Structure 1
């Protein structure tokens, strides 16, 4: 077998896609392994001294990095939104692993620092406190709050609230031609389940908006009258995504702005 110089792992609970590349960036193999077989496989590989293992940053990535580094590998974790730009072809485990490897080869990559078990415990405590903050937004419940934190991860990866909306596929699709910008439906990029949770939460907030007189509720009611409840719910979900960024960035509870 060829000598491996770089490895990309697409992490999952039961099965993990393992992509190995040689020094010429040729695929040595790209196969799915049971998660309990991955470390044994990595331990047996013929590899260069500076062989690097790259994963997407997620809740389980810190554990895997700690275990892999015990085998003598260097590890890197990349933000999911950075990796997504390099996905080619249909989304599947093999192509996801290729996207991770491609993203890792870029000079502008931004690696997420590995956390110890103690740091993860502290982050969990902070996460529970950020969850409570998100739940101060009308329409955001515990499931949505926890799902948001799990997917978004480090909010500092997003420069502004609109970037969160874009990541979740809640911004209008643009069709520009002849100097004119035409806005269509939302892009629907990103995590479908999380986008659905946000829209359903926005529908709930919209149903109760007539009982409030803050600026956001009045705005949502106006959109509903002009464009209908469906468009208003999506528009409100878009607003919520931006508010979520602000809350996580400034570490404050949501405060309704008076009309």
Structure 2
């Protein structure tokens, strides 16, 4: 395990030099992007819903404790993972959500 704070610009260069490893990420729109980037570098990226990671947070919520909880959760044998979505899949989901906001909710924006 590595405890190192990375800025967004440094993530790719950091993971380029690491040997292939397992990387846990909370599932969100950005998480899918980073999973695709890390998989292209040869790593195994696994996405987990935030609600599944939350029980592993031991103390006050911040980036460091979230990272520790993700690290713990990704190694659990019963953990369920979210498949990584492609750019196209995410684009279609975004289109459906915007369409629902504009027509299905009955609210004006």
Q: Normalized against structure 1, the TM-score is what?
A: 0.39
Match of 1:65 among 35, 42, 45: 35
Cα distance between partner residues in 2 of 1:104 and 1:141: 41
Is residue 115 of structure 1 aligned with residue 80 of structure 2? no
Separation (CA, whole Å) in 1 of partners of 2:73 and 2:108: 34
CA-based RMSD of the aligned residues comes to 1.7
Which deviations, in whole Å up to 9, do the C-alpha atoms of 1:190-248 show, x marking residues without a partner? xxxxxxxxxxxxxxxxxxxxxxxxxxxxxxxxxxxxxxxxxxxxxxxxxxxxxxxxxxx
Q: Which runs of 5+ in 2 are unaligned?
A: none
Q: Is the 8 A contact 1:54 1:76 kept in 2?
A: yes
What is the alpha-carbon distance in structure 2 between the residues aligned to residue 111 and residue 130 of structure 1? 27
In structure 1, C-alpha distance between the alignment counterparts of 2:39 and 2:22, rounded to whole Å = 10
Question: Which has the greater radius of gyration?
Answer: 1
Q: How far off its partner does 1:129 sit?
A: 2.7
Contact 1:53 1:74 in 2 (8 A): yes
With normalisation by structure 2, the TM-score equals: 0.88
Q: Name the CA distance, whole Å, in 2 between partners of 1:141 and 1:37.
A: 41
More strand by share: 1
Larger relative contact order (CA 8 Å, sep ≥ 6): 2
